Structure 1
């Protein structure tokens, strides 16, 4: 299957991910390519910048501290794809949307 960003983007240094957000039985998906920035992610350049610093893995994103309210409204996110020839597979459940933003910034802002 050809990715939606076209066959010309790829090779060993491809940087593209499929991102999902699951909340209350609903799932949203965005596709993001970062060489060049392309896809369905509305904040692609910001997300690519964060991912570049984190070697493509949202688990390695480091952001300034952000205080969040303590309530439980779980949201599960995932990222799968390739980054510079490495397979990325990330899945995490956060207590609420604020905790998600504090940990991942623009990556899951769609």
Structure 2
């Protein structure tokens, strides 16, 4: 079954920053994500839903540099639509591992 997501990261504080998007496929692992294998390894136990990823114990500074992460696509026949705004890029990486690291 298909495991295909469009992942987007948008920095909200800096108007000069444009959003970035990558394609990720996990069956087989492919796409434009720079660490597709790592992202798929984290998403597979979460059934493709970034909200279900177990966060790491990384300590992040309390800096306000908001980033919005979105994921849309199909995972094993189920539609995935995820959107969350994190306080900063470190908090996003802590919550989602390599999924939005591009």
Per the TM superposition, whether the score is higher than 0.5 is yes
Between structures 1 and 2, the one with greater helix share = 1
Say which one has the larger Rg. Answer: 1
TM score, norm. by length of structure 2:
0.93
Could you give the per-residue CA deviations for residues 36-64 of structure 1, whole angstroms, max 9, x where no partner exists?
00100000000001000100000000033
Q: TM-score, normalised by structure 1?
A: 0.86
Give the Cα separation in 2 of the matches to 1:75 and 1:64.
Answer: 18
Equivalent residue pairs, number: 98
Question: What is the root-mean-square deviation in Å for CA atoms of aligned residues?
Answer: 0.8
Q: Paired residue for 1:69?
A: 61
TM alignment of 1:1-110, pairs within 5 A: 13-23=1-11, 24-25=14-15, 26-110=18-102
Distance 1:35 1:64 in 2: 25
